[in-house]
Each structure stands twice: as C-alpha cells, then as structure tokens.
C-alpha cells in the first residue's frame, strides 16, 4: 500500500523506464524542510532519452485514441494516489501554501482527463475528404483525405511558478501525450523533488497500461547545458516552454538555428494591462482598485497573468482608485517567493521601476530574503510610452498605475503595447463607445481579452487561449492552455488515392 504522506527523493533521472544516477549532483533549495541532492543532467542523458522517445513513437504515435486516453487517465489516477505526498513536497520546495498545491494538483489531473475526453471525441483530427472527380474537365481530381498526425518526440521545460500544472505532467505534457507524442521533460531545479514524484506516477501508469517506457523521461537540470542539448537534439520535433523572456528567447534562437529548425512554443510573460474606462472609474473606481490589489498579490504576484499595469484617465476619480488600492495593499504581509533568485529579481525590478525618471512611489515596502511585499508606483502616459523598461514584466506583486490625459492618449498607449497574454477593460454602459475603439487595437496585442474582471486564473477549457504576440509568447497562433493546445504537436497529412486498408485508423474510421 502506497504511503501517501511520506516521500524522500532519490535524486535520479527517469529515462525510458530506468532510474538513472549522474556523475555530479546539485542540491535543491526548499523554502522549508531538508534539502536533497539530485543528479545533474548531461547531453548523454538527453541523447538516451531522445532516442528512446523516437523508438516509442513508432508504437505510441500509432496507438488508438482510446489507448492513449486510457493512459492519460491512468497518469491522473496515479497522481491522485500520491496526493498528500505531492502536496507536502511541493509546498516544501516552492513555499506555496498547501491549499494552492491541492488546487493545482486538481487542475493538473483535470486537464489530463479533459485531454482524454478530447481525443476520444476526435474533433481535433479535423478530418477532411475531397472525393475523386474522374470526369472533371480539363483534369480529373484525385481522391484526397486529410487528418492531423502527431509530429514525434517533444521537449517540455518545467515552469518555476507551477510545480504541477505547468511542469512534469502539466499542460504541455498532457497535450503532447494526447496528440501521440512521447515527451522528454527538463525538470525545473526549483522543485526537482516534486518533479520526481510526479515522474513516479507517470512511470506507474506506463507499467499499468503496458506503454513503451520511452514515451516519457524526466531529466533533472541545474545548468543550461542540458536544456540546450535538449532543444538541439535532432530527434526532438518541438519544444514547450514556460519561463523568462531571456531564457526562452535563447532557446528559441537555438531551435531556429538548428540545421532543421523546429517550433519553439514559449510562454514568456506579460504585464497584462488593465484599462479602467471613465464611467466605470467614476462609478466604482475605489472598488476596482481594491479588487486589483487582491489580484496583484495573489500567489505573491508570481503568475504570468499578474495584472501589473493599470491605465486610467487622470483626475480625482483616479486618485480614489489609487488610494483604495494603496489602502488594501498596505495590510498585505510578506509572502514567500518561489526561489531566492526570483526574490532577488523582484528587488531588482523595484529598483529599475523606482529609478525611472517620471515615476513616483505610491506604496514602498522592504522585501527581505526570499519574501516579497507589494509595491505600487505611478507615472504618466507620456513617460510610459517613452520608456521601454516600464513595459517589462516584474515577476511579483508590483503594480504601476499609468495616468493618461484623455481617451485619445489611452488609445495611443494601447497602440504602443508590446504583445501580451491578456488585456482587460473595466467598463460601464456609457464606456462602450471607447471600448469599441480599443477592441481592434487590443485584440492585436493579446490572446485573451477580459471585461470587468482580472486575468489571474486561467480556465482549462476548449475556448481558452493562453498565448499572445511576442514577447508574451513566441508563436501568436498557439495556446499553452486548453484543448486547442494539442495543435502545437500535430501536423496535417494529406493522402492521395491511398487504398483505404492502409490509411491511418483515424481516417479509416
């Protein structure tokens, strides 16, 4: 009987069904509890895992949708069988509250089961058939059938801020396995123990469903070497990444520079601007300010959808918004951040924003060690549009209020935005004319547009888009959340005059 409450990491990679040690180790840095040693991944580990993934693709890529769905559901079952142990080690490593980890585990198993249902339905295959027209003039038309097919082994990089939902068995892995693609995960060094126990769950599901063990490998990594080797390996056909702009862009460039370039689906962050339109500001500006404070500090602001920027028209109603936000944030205590490095970067972000000419401080706090307290600054629309630095994400609970002179300047600021994951409009009935003018601008800037809400909290569903124009993500036509994300790991194949009995099963059906 599995002991759900105790788990001690052994620190090994999982490569094609075998637990593999390394010549060197690194030590994790948990927010609480004992540290553990983990093997350092090498290019040799990457080569072994990638070769096994390619071998597994021969059977897994051609397995029935029902077999793949059953395997994905088995992974969810095995994760739930380790529920308490996953929560405990995930909270220890990341500093996230246990309640947050329980919710994230439910999201992880939920999206696995969602993909199982999605591939059973089969709509994602986008099957098309143009029947032969042998008598067409001046030339006959052949029989043409098209279906989406899996692309091959996929590399997935674990994210620092979601140890479960965007990491080992998270959305990228779920989408790739649903598509029929084996996965090689490069684990995040901030939570290697969490990655290891989730890998054990996947390993158990592989054995339970008699799947080729090369369908999944997890390689620990504390250096750039293993990540660079993974994206450049000739057997890897695509990459899923959630992380920083600098790290993601470096990997994107490596993918593009390969002799055979591959797609790099990177989600790189966003400042997620909120536009508070005049009537909404006048009627309920203080309430919106209080609600913004809650969203800004959720999870210590460590969400890629954190609403870091608020744009509103200057005046006494803007003063009320800022005062309410400041009052709500003043009572927020220090929150533990995911890593020492992220906490240090937050302090650097504060110094960068505070040191920008034309920026004034609304709420200043001191963040010490691995903790963060909220910060609020404000500036003018002119300063914002003149300063590229102010549009860069600060990962943590830092908010910037941008006061514009009128609706025309608000429109100009919207046009100046870089790509975003989300843009939000807070509006009342009389704001709709301005909203209609903003919409054509903002839908070119973001993958998700919201009305009268806040972007923290990303629903896992059919219609969700979690992506946007660069630098929010590296592929504006993709999403990393929701069932549409499976398209990243598929490609259309057309079969011309092909005998029916040798077509893929999904076309013969």
Residue 267 a catalytic site member: yes
Q: What are phi and psi for residue 56, nearest 5 degrees?
A: -65, -30
- Upper half-sphere CA count for residue 51 (Cβ side, 13 Å): 6
Between CA 413 and CA 378 the distance in angstroms is 15
Q: What is the DSSP letter of 448?
A: E
CB atoms closer than 10 angstroms to residue 256: 12
Q: Cα–chain-centroid distance for residue 439?
A: 25
Residues 216, 14: contact at Cβ < 8 Å? yes
Which residues face 379 on adjacent strands?
A: 402
**Phi/psi at 118 (nearest 5 deg)?**
-65, -45
- Residue that the structure tokens 């559901």 belong to: 73
For 186, the 3-state DSSP assignment is: strand
**Catalytic pick from 88, 304, 378, 423?**
304
Please check whether residue 359 is in contact with residue 383, taking contact to mean a CB–CB distance below 8 angstroms: yes
3-class DSSP string for 7-52: CCCCCCEEECCEEECCCCEEECCCCCCCCCEEECCCHHHHHHHHHH
Active site annotation includes 304: yes
Q: Which of 93, 104, 196, 267 is catalytic?
A: 267
- Helix residue ranges, H only, 298-354: 316-330, 340-354
Tell me the CA end-to-end span of the chain in Å, nearest whole number. Answer: 42
Distance CA 286, CA 289 (A): 5
Q: How far is CA 459 from the centre of its chain?
A: 12
Torsion of CA 343, 345, 351, 353, to 10 degrees: -110
70 by DSSP, 3-state: which? helix
Q: How far apart are CA 186 and CA 157, in angstroms?
A: 5
- Residues forming the active site: 267, 304
């Amino acid at each position: 009987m599995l002991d759900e409450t105790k788990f001690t990491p052994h620190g090994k990679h999982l490569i094609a069904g075998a637990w593999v040690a390394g010549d060197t180790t690194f030590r994790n840095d948990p927010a609480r509890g004992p540290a553990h040693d983990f093997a350092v991944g090498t290019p040799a580990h990457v080569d072994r895992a990638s070769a096994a993934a390619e071998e597994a693709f021969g059977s897994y890529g051609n397995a029935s949708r029902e077999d793949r769905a059953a395997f994905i559901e088995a992974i969810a079952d095995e994760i739930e069988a380790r529920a308490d142990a996953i929560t405990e080690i995930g909270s220890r490593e990341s500093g996230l509250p246990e309640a947050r980890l329980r919710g994230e585990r439910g999201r992880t198993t939920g999206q696995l089961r969602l993909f199982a249902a999605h591939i059973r339905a089969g709509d994602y295959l986008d099957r098309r058939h143009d029947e032969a027209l042998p008598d067409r003039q001046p030339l006959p038309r052949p029989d043409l059938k098209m279906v989406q097919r899996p692309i091959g082994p996929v590399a997935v990089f674990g994210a620092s801020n979601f140890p479960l939902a965007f990491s080992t068995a998270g959305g990228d892995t779920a989408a790739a396995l649903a598509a029929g693609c084996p996965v090689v995960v490069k684990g995040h060094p901030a939570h290697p123990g969490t990655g290891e126990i989730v890998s054990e769950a996947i390993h158990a599901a592989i054995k339970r469903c008699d799947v080729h063990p090369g369908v999944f490998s997890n390689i620990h990594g504390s250096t750039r070497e293993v990540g660079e080797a993974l994206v450049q390996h000739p057997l890897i056909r695509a990459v899923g990444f959630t992380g920083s702009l600098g790290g993601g862009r470096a990997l994107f460039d490596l993918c593009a520079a390969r002799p055979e370039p591959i797609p790099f689906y990177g989600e790189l962050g966003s400042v997620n601007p909120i536009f508070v339109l005049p009537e909404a500001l006048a009627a309920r500006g203080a309430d919106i300010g209080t609600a913004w404070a809650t969203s800004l500090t959720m999870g210590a602001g460590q969400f890629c959808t954190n609403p870091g920027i608020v744009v509103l028209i200057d005046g006494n109603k803007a003063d009320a918004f800022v005062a309410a936000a400041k009052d709500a944030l003043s009572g927020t205590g220090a929150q533990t951040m995911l890593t020492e490095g992220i906490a240090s970067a937050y302090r650097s972000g504060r110094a960068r924003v505070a040191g920008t000419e034309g920026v004034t401080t609304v709420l200043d706090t001191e963040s010490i060690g691995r903790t963060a307290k909220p910060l609020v600054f404000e500036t003018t629309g002119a300063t914002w549009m003149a300063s590229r630095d102010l549009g860069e994400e600060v990962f943590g609970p830092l908010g910037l209020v941008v006061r514009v002179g009128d609706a025309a300047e608000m429109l100009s600021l919207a046009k100046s935005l870089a790509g975003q994951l989300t843009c939000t409009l807070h509006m009342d009935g009389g704001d709709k004319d301005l909203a209609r003018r903003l919409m054509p601008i903002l839908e070119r800037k973001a993958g998700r547009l919201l009305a009268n809400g806040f972007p923290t909290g990303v629903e896992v569903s059919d219609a969700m888009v979690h992506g946007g124009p660069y630098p929010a993500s590296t592929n504006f036509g993709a999403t990393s959340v929701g069932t549409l994300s499976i398209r990243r790991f598929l490609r259309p194949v057309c079969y011309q005059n092909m005998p029916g009995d040798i077509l893929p099963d999904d076309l013969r059906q």
